[in-house]
Amino acid sequence: MTSARIWRTVIAIPLFLSANSAAAEDGYALWLRHPATSVGQINVKRLGDSETMRIAEAELRRDLAAPTQPIVLALATMPAVKAMRLPFEGLGDEGYLVRTVAIDGQRVTLVAGNSDRGVLYGTFALIRHLATGGSGDAIDLRSAPKVRLRVLNHWDNLDESVERGYAGQSIWDWWTLPDFRDPRYTDYARANASIGINGTVLNNVNAKAESLTAPYIAKAAALADIFRPWGIRVYLSVKFSAPIELGGLKTADPRDPAVAAWWKAKADEIYRTIPDFGGFLVKANSEGQPGPRDYGASHADGANMLAAAVRDHGGIVMWRAFVYAETDPEDRAKQAYTEFKPLDGKFADNVLVQVKNGAIDFQPREPFHPLFGAMPRTPLMIEFQITKEYLGFATHLAYLGPLFTETLDAKTGRKPGETVADVVDGQAEHHSLSGMAGVANIGRDRDWSGSTFNQANWYAFGRLAWDPDLSAEAIARAWAKQTFGNDPQVVDTVTTMMMGSREAVVDYTGALGLAHLVATSHHYGPGPWVADLARPEWNPVYYHRADATGIGFDRTATGSNAVSQYAGPAAKAFAKADTTPESLLLWFHHVPWNRRMANGRTLWGDLVAHYDQGVAYVAGMQRQWDGLKSKIDEERWQKTATYLAIQNREARCWRDASLAYWMAVNHLPLPAGVRPPEHDLPWYKAQQFPLAPGQAH
Ligand code: GCV
């Protein structure tokens, strides 16, 4: 088709308002809200036909206010586009180019990519650009994902509960699948595609073998069919003992040929139904899950056996390094490194080792995991927790962008300047496989994530998985604009609230490197006094080690020597209290309560000040949010205001309970003028929340 002809066939199509645009402000629309007013005409021309291209066209018609110039969607390979000699090299099969070009003397916005997925991502980039106030003229957007696998991990159970889920039941209605294809599945795919997520692990890493039976494969296949045109592949978590439970074998030893054959046959069965199935995610020999160590085989033996089963189909295995054992008296923070570091270079080339951002477990603050500086011959995926198990469930406002970027920007110490992001995106050692996983915060709640602000954490994860070098603040600002509109007062206030909110949670739950001070099992609220659980590392006292003289976990050479697992300058810095950032002090050091801090306070005085600062920040967010009442739609404003009030009450509880406990241990008075805890320690210890949501079962 000549360009002249292309241009003549551009059609003007009216974009109608969605009938229920008022109801759209219940949060369901996420950051993809329809324009608020009638927009008249929008010109879109699609060159080429595929379901993905049709989706891209529909998105423009649905989500754009009238653009200043017509839009052409095209593949880079089309003669009319080729003739323009635009820079498509390096964009791969997911990158996009959105540019104002002239066709037949008319200015148009070209949205193009080497594949239709690139066109779809370009479409969402254009929608974002315009929705965040970008000019409709002289557009020039060009981007390719730096990370190849950008994957959500759903900890969703087959009974439709969600482990560590705070947004209602699982969105997968396993019972009615594969027959009923809830339109919500399409909306889920659309939201993910809009932020670049290209994979989803459907079921909990604490997996049931049943997810690999034929009926459940058919259910997963129905979801895969819905997600495919949106560029999203499905993966499954698998239980390592499935050959015994489903196949009737006597062993799941990965070195046993019958076991390997069982997995190969199972993989073949899955690929017959889901030809583009992504592969397996495995939690092995951790928290009671079976694994290769049960048979004296290594994690590499287990991973490679599964990798062989999916290899011919182009599948991959994501093998988790979140491994610790009750039989191992070693510091829990050291165990994953001890187990995995010797296996560097021993994994098959379609295996990624999936490493949590820190060495314990998604705490409000942890130093980066030492494995990121220790396994150059293995592609390492990073795993973040988007759902807020340790940061206030759904009700607390805690924007995780700064938590994610703090880890990604950390220097591994292995090579000058090398960051965790360089390792994760594969650049550091030129790995072609790379990945980022986020434990999803999505459920059946109308607003998907339990609160409007939790949506920002899903959004930030996707944007950073596409480009780990983005700034948390730029992402917050873009999210605020897409979610609430472009009023500068709203955008500035919301961005300011978000940017300090994670630090506030650190402050009111335990600053200066404290970790894992939560109540048992559900992890809701404070429990720094807990000391009676079967496994030492399940008890908060294991982590803080407070006594009358000091507090903190000595992880230097005089203690567990976890610092020795870090590379070069990182190890050196963490080895001494004076060179450790104060925000991580008690993670690495046991220090006296009267240690002098940089600001001149004693450690005790500083810890108290952090608690107060955290509580005050929440009160500040309430005031800021009150100031936006007239500018935000009623439903989203009210729910957020109510949740901030809950957060205020719970932040005070965290502070008061913690101070009551620390004072019982250190026998120190509160600094002058500091408000004493509202209740005594026994009162806090007596609080029980057995039905708190999200518990494992
Ligand atoms: C899925 C923590 C959570 C568990 C979770 C585990 C994991 O321990 O509390 O619910 O299990 O991490 O990441 O495997």
Residue 193, burial from CB neighbour count under 10 angstroms (0-12, 13-18, 19+): buried
DSSP state of 687: -
Same domain, 345 and 213: yes
Residue 535 in this model has a pLDDT that exceeds 90: no
* Distance, CA of 398 to CA of 96 (rounded, Å): 32
For residue 35, the model assigns a pLDDT of 65
For ligand 1, what atom is nearest to the CA of residue 389? 9
Protein residue with its CA nearest to atom 12 in ligand 1: 361
In the prediction, which pLDDT does 493 show? 98
Amino acid identity at 9: T
Spacing, Cα 149 to ligand 1 middle (Å): 21
- Could you please report the per-residue DSSP string of 220-235? HHHHHHHHGGGT-EEE
Tokens of 472: 């948390």
| CA pair distance 159, 170, nearest whole angstrom | 9
Residue 254 falls inside a structural domain:
yes
* Domain end marker among 143, 173, 202: 143
Q: Are 612 and 655 in contact (CB under 8 A)?
A: yes
Sign of torsion, CA 71 72 75 77?
negative
Ligand 1 atom nearest to 439, measured from its CA: 13
Among residues 85, 116, 143, which one ends one of the domains? Answer: 143
Calpha distance 4→423 (Å, rounded): 47
* Residue % of the chain over a pLDDT of 90: 91
Q: How far is the CA of 178 from the centre of ligand 1 (A)?
A: 28
- Asked if residue 624 has its Cβ within 6 Å of ligand 1, the reply is no
Closest CA to 492 of 619, 627, 398: 627
Query: For ligand 1, is residue 361 a contact (CB within 6 Å)?
Result: yes
pLDDT at residue 334, rounded to an integer = 97
Q: What is the pLDDT of residues 366-402, one digit of tens each?
A: 999 999 999 999 999 999 999 999 999 999 999 999 9
Chain segment 271-301, per-residue pLDDT in tens: 999 999 999 999 999 999 999 999 999 999 9
Q: How far apart are CA 273 and CA 220, in angstroms?
A: 9
Closest ligand 1 atom to 383 CA:
13
Please give the pLDDT value at position 328.
82
Residue 105 reports pLDDT greater than 90: no
Number of domains in the chain: 3
Question: Distance from the CA of 286 to the center of ligand 1, in angstroms?
Answer: 9
Q: Strands, DSSP E only, in 104-225?
A: 106-113, 140-143, 149-153, 199-201
Pocket-testing residue among 155, 239, 520, ligand 1, by greatest number of atoms within 8 A of Cβ: 155
Range 66-98 burial, b when 16+ CB lie within 10 A, else e: ebeebbbbbbbeeebbeebebebeebeebbbbb
pLDDT grade, residue 3 (50/70/90)?
Answer: very low
- Which CATH number covers residue 535? 3.90.1330.10
Domain span including residue 680: 507-553+590-685
Q: Compute the mean pLDDT over every residue in the chain, rounded to the nearest whole number.
A: 94
Closest CA to 644 of 488, 492, 482, 498: 498
Within a domain: residue 372? yes
Asked if 220 and 263 touch (Cβ cutoff 8 Å), the reply is no
The minimum-distance atom of ligand 1 relative to the CA of 286 is 14
Minimum-distance ligand 1 atom for the alpha carbon of 385: 13
**Distance from C-alpha of 588 to C-alpha of 577, rounded to nearest angstrom:** 8
For the residues of 42-71, what is the DSSP string, one character each? EEEEE-S--HHHHHHHHHHHHHPPPPSS-E
Q: Report if residue 479 sits inside a domain.
A: yes
Q: Same structural domain for residues 518 and 449?
A: no
> Which CATH number is 208's domain given?
3.20.20.80
For residues 79-87, average pLDDT: 94
pLDDT at 39: 52
Ligand 1 neighbour 283 (Cβ under 6 A):
yes
Question: pLDDT above 70 covers what percent of the chain?
Answer: 95
Cα–Cα distance for residue pair 471/469, rounded to 1 Å: 6
Q: Is the beta carbon of 508 within 6 A of some atom in ligand 1?
A: no
Confidence class for position 64, pLDDT limits 50, 70, 90: confident
Compute, in angstroms, the gap from residue 516 CA to the centroid of ligand 1: 13
Alpha helices for 387-470 (secondary structure H): 401-408, 420-424, 452-466
On the 0-12 / 13-18 / 19+ scale of CB atoms within 10 A, 340 is buried
Instruction: Using the atom order of ligand 1, give the atom closest to the CA of residue 696.
Output: 10
Summarize pLDDT for 124-170 with one digit per residue, the tens: 999 999 999 999 889 999 999 999 999 999 999 999 999 999 999 99
Q: Do both 623 and 609 map to the same domain? A: yes
Q: Does one domain contain both 39 and 161?
A: no
| DSSP-derived secondary structure for 303-347 | HHHHHHHHHTTT-EEEEE-----TT--S-HHHHHHHHHGGGTT-S
Please report whether residue 489 resides in a domain. no
Last residue of a domain, one of 98, 116, 143: 143
Specify whether the backbone of 87 is left (phi greater than 0), alpha (psi in -120 to 50) or beta.
Answer: beta
Confirm if 593 and 603 have CB atoms less than 8 A apart: yes
Does 322 sit in the ligand 1 pocket, CB within 6 Å?
A: yes
| In a domain? residue 528 | yes
- For residue 155, report the distance from its CA to the centre of ligand 1, in Å: 9
- Cβ-based neighbour number of residue 27 at 10 Å: 23
Burial environment of residue 210 by CB neighbours within 10 A (0 to 12, 13 to 18, 19 or more): middle
Cβ proximity of 663 and 516 under 8 Å:
no
One domain, residues 30 and 176: no
Do 386 and 524 fall into the same domain?
no
pLDDT at 350: 98
What pLDDT sits at residue 12? 32
- Could you tell me if 317 and 282 are in contact, meaning their C-beta atoms sit under 8 angstroms apart? yes
Q: How confident is the model at residue 20 (pLDDT cuts 50, 70, 90)?
A: very low
Q: State yes or no: cis peptide before 682, omega within 30 of 0.
A: no
Q: Are residues 378 and 239 in the same domain?
A: yes
632 vs 638: CA distance, rounded Å: 9
Task: In whole angstroms, give the CA distance from residue 440 to residue 438.
Answer: 6
Q: At residue 243, what is the residue type?
A: P
Rounded average pLDDT over 488-506: 98
Q: Which residues are catalytic?
A: 287, 361, 389
Cβ(164) – ligand 1 distance below 6 Å: yes
Higher pLDDT, 520 or 21: 520
Which residue has a Cα nearest atom 8 of ligand 1? 361
Question: From the CA of 204, how far away is ligand 1's center (Å)?
Answer: 10
To test ligand 1's pocket by mutation, which of 239, 356, 361 has the most ligand atoms within 8 angstroms of CB?
361
Q: Are 213 and 290 in contact (CB under 8 A)?
A: no
In contact, 164 and 389? CB cutoff 8 Å: yes
Q: Which is more confident, 487 or 33?
A: 487
**How is residue 536 annotated by DSSP?**
G
CA atoms within 13 A on the CB side of 620: 15
User: pLDDT tens, 657-697?
Assistant: 999 999 999 999 999 999 999 999 999 999 999 999 999 87
CA 150–ligand 1 middle distance (angstroms): 20
Closest CA to 498 of 456, 447, 461: 456
| Ligand 1 atom with the shortest distance to the CA of 356 | 13
Compute the distance from residue 680 Cα to the ligand 1 centre, in Å: 32
CATH of the domain at 59: 3.30.379.10
What 3-state DSSP class applies to 650? helix
* Nearest CA, atom 2, ligand 1: 361
Beta-bridge partner residues of 14: 41
- 403 or 20, which is more confident? 403
For ligand 1, say whether the CB of 396 is within 6 Å of any of its atoms.
no
Q: Which of 322-326, 611-615, 660-664 has the lowest mean pLDDT?
A: 322-326
Q: Is residue 490 situated within a structural domain? A: no
696 lines ligand 1 (CB under 6 A): yes
Q: Is the CB of 206 under 6 A from ligand 1?
A: yes
Long-range contacts of 597-603 (CB under 8 A, 24+ apart): 603/512, 603/551
Chain-centroid distance, C-alpha 185: 19
Same domain, 223 and 329: yes
Give me the pLDDT at residue 67, please: 63
Q: Compute the distance between CA of residue 454 and CA of residue 468 in angstroms, rounded to an integer.
A: 20
- How far apart are alpha carbons 9 and 46 in whole angstroms? 10
What's the 130 CA to ligand 1 centre distance in angstroms? Answer: 39
Looking at the structure, tell me whether residues 537 and 680 fall in a common domain: yes
My answer on whether 450 and 428 are in the same domain is yes
Both 122 and 238 in one domain: the answer is: no
Nearest Cα residue to 66 out of 128, 6, 13: 13
Q: Which helix (H) or strand (E) holds 194?
A: helix 183-194
* 26, 43: one domain: yes
**Whether residue 155 has its Cβ less than 6 Å from ligand 1:** yes
Give the model's pLDDT for residue 13.
Answer: 32
End-to-end CA distance of the chain: 60
Ligand 1 near 205 CB (within 6 A): yes
Residue 565 in any domain: the answer is no
255 vs 292: CA distance, rounded Å = 9
- Tell how far the Cα of 458 is from the centroid of ligand 1, in angstroms: 19
Instruction: Return the closest-CA partner of residue 493 out of 377, 398, 628.
Output: 628
Nearest atom, ligand 1, residue 204 CA: 1
For atom 13 of ligand 1, which residue has the closest CA? Answer: 322
DSSP string for 599-648: TS-BHHHHHHHHHHHHHHHHHHHHHHHHTTGGGS-HHHHHHHHHHHHHHH
The arithmetic mean of pLDDT across residues 393-421, rounded, is 98
Q: Which of 170, 287, 369, 383 to mutate to test the pocket of ligand 1 (most atoms within 8 A of CB)?
A: 287
User: How much is the average pLDDT of 626-654?
Assistant: 97
Burial 550-576 (b: 16+ CB within 10 A, else e): bbbbbbbeebbebbbbbbeebbebbbe
Give, for ligand 1, the residue of 161, 164, 239 to mutate: max count of ligand atoms closer than 8 Å to Cβ: 164
Quote the ligand 1 centre to 163 CA distance (angstroms): 8
pLDDT of residue 22: 34
* Residue 584, domain member (yes or no): no
